[in-house]
Amino acid sequence: MSVIAVEQAGPATSVQDAGRFGALRYGLSSAGAMDRLSLTAANALVGQPADAATVEIGPLSTRFAVRGGPVRIALVGAARDIACGDRRVALARTLRLEPGDTLALRPARGGVYTYLAVEGGISGTPVYGSLSVHARAGLGSPIARPLVAGDEIPVGSAADTPGERRLDLPPAERGPIRIVLGPQDDYFSADQIATFLDSEWRVAPASDRMGYRLDGPRVAAARGHNIVSDGIANGQIQIPGSGQPLVLLADRGTTGGYPKIACIVSADLGRFAQTPPGAKLRFAAVDVDAARALAVAWRATLDGVAARVERDAGSGPSSESLLAANLAGSAVNAFDRDTWSH
């Protein structure tokens, strides 16, 4: 057994897998990775199941050290400068680390979360089938809260197979974040819905795994901002009395009493969650049939990720191939700032 020791962590780094299902009716939301595609890709690179636990690394500087035995890792998600000693580390490639090695991540550029997957996985005790940290519920394993310096994560040891692997992610979706209106869009006038759909929004700094607030024009609800509390889906956009939209995400409350104007489609949840505070975005409405077609295509994308893993010809020692890998590394970054301007 090897250990990944946390030497430095920002406030938003935690163990996350695909989430915890079956307890919505008891008031427990799913938690789970904010960016499902990056989770799936990181796991595919190290040969783990698509829904396996990873370290979801928040946007600030983070540093890990390897202890006990060698580990093989892969990092996918928000672009950032990453170094192992003097070596520059590219996204979407496996890398073998020896005991004593450190992995230093600089702040994310134009994204939020980067996923660290480990060959052999993270060891922990699942609750409702998941290791995901749900901070407010005090759930998660092996550490039931966001990580801090001094934490140690037991992980699998690197297999003795030679050669590293790489992965080119499918091209990033661009354009507006697709939403389905409802279920309380009838609380809003046509003008208010137009304001919501036609405006440019910025993710507000007060945003976290529970929800992202959006800065922009005020959206008033013609029929008032109180409903009898009902269920809330992942990506649901509620409009409280302040008129400032709040997008409810993985760690949300399961029910709430504000009208919900719309919900982000599954395919766009990850790229929405990767929108950093201050970045601009727009919404576009699709109907339920179009949303289903997007969901089917999205599932195919996720299911197709593992087949994109290939041997990394650039994993040898030549400086030329290292340079090529680094260039490719920036090319596969799906979450640079350009993704969000139109």
Interaction of residue 209 with other proteins, rule CB under 8 A = no
Q: Which is nearer to other proteins, 38 or 254 (CB)?
A: 254
Interaction of residue 136 with other proteins, rule CB under 8 A = yes
| 17 CB neighbour count, 10 Å cutoff | 28
Q: How large is the C-alpha radius of gyration of the chain? A: 20
93, 165, 260, 271: residue in contact with other proteins (rule CB under 8 A): 260
Q: How far is CA 206 from the centre of its chain?
A: 17
Exposed e or buried b for every residue in 124-133, given b needs 16+ CB within 10 A? Answer: beebbebbbb
Which stretch in 24-32, 43-51, 78-86, 274-282 sits in contact with other proteins by CB under 8 A? 24-32
Interaction of residue 319 with other proteins, rule CB under 8 A = no
Interaction of residue 24 with other proteins, rule CB under 8 A = yes
149, 159, 194, 296: residue in contact with other proteins (rule CB under 8 A): 296
Interaction of residue 31 with other proteins, rule CB under 8 A = no
Establish how many alpha carbons lie within 13 A of residue 279's alpha carbon, considering only the half-sphere containing its beta carbon.
23
Q: Left, alpha or beta for 235 (phi > 0: left; psi -120 to 50: alpha)?
A: left
Between CA 251 and CA 228 the distance in angstroms is 21
Number of residues that bind other proteins (CB under 8 A): 47
Interaction of residue 23 with other proteins, rule CB under 8 A = yes
Exposed e or buried b for every residue in 154-180, given b needs 16+ CB within 10 A? Answer: ebbbbeeeeebbbbebeeebeeebbbb
Interaction of residue 1 with other proteins, rule CB under 8 A = no
Interaction of residue 183 with other proteins, rule CB under 8 A = yes
Collapsing DSSP to helix, strand or coil, 242 comes out as coil
| 224 CB neighbour count, 10 Å cutoff | 11
Q: Which is nearer to other proteins, 2 or 275 (CB)?
A: 275
127, 204, 285, 322: residue in contact with other proteins (rule CB under 8 A): 127
Nearest-approach distance from CB 264 to other proteins, in angstroms? 7
Residue reference for tokens 């052999």: 120
Q: Residue 115's closest CA among 150, 76, 142, 84?
A: 76
Q: Which is nearer to other proteins, 14 or 234 (CB)?
A: 234
87, 218, 292, 342: residue in contact with other proteins (rule CB under 8 A): 292
Q: Which is nearer to other proteins, 148 or 293 (CB)?
A: 293
Interaction of residue 137 with other proteins, rule CB under 8 A = yes
Contact set with other proteins (CB under 8 A):
21-28, 127-128, 136-139, 144, 179-183, 227-236, 253-256, 260, 263-266, 288-289, 291-292, 294-296, 299
